[in-house]
Amino acid sequence: MNWLIYLIGSNAANQPMCYCAPIAIVEADDAEAAKEITAKRTPVYANQFLRAVTEDDADPDDWNAVSDLDALARSHAEGEKCFGCNKPAERADMAGFWCDDC
Ligand SMILES: [Zn+2]
């Protein structure tokens, strides 16, 4: 199942404001596994922690915001072009590159 991951906590000890943001949607069997997957991809500092909620429990606005970000990241990767001649990337993981001709 899919989990929406929130990053919770302040960035610095002297910042009283709670920082709480939806950062990812991951597929995992349970909430603990979802948080482990996210922690491998995202730096989580000592005063921060992750919270995983199911799609049913997530705020639809938060869910959609992260879905849009994921879609944007994918479409960006697919649209990567050579810095020199704008030749499109042959693979989606060729993020920002120089082609053989440039
Ligand atoms: Zn080129």
Structure tokens at 13: 């000890």
Structure tokens at 84: 């020199």
Neighbours of ion ligand 1 (CB under 5 A): 82, 84-85, 87, 99, 101-102
Number of domains in the chain: 1
User: When comparing pLDDT for 100 and 16, which is higher?
Assistant: 100
What's the gap in Å between 72 CA and the centre of ligand 1?
24
**Mean pLDDT, residues 21-35:** 94
Q: Is residue 84 included in any domain, yes or no?
A: no
What's the gap in Å between 6 CA and the centre of ligand 1?
39
Q: Print the domain residue range for 25.
A: 2-58
Q: Is residue 11 included in any domain, yes or no?
A: yes
In this prediction the pTM is 0.65
Give the number of other Cβ atoms within 10 Å of residue 24's Cβ. Answer: 19
pLDDT in tens, 38-93: 999 888 888 889 999 999 999 999 999 998 877 666 665 556 778 788 887 766 55
What's the gap in Å between 89 CA and the centre of ligand 1?
10
Burial of 65 (0-12, 13-18, 19+ CB in 10 A): middle
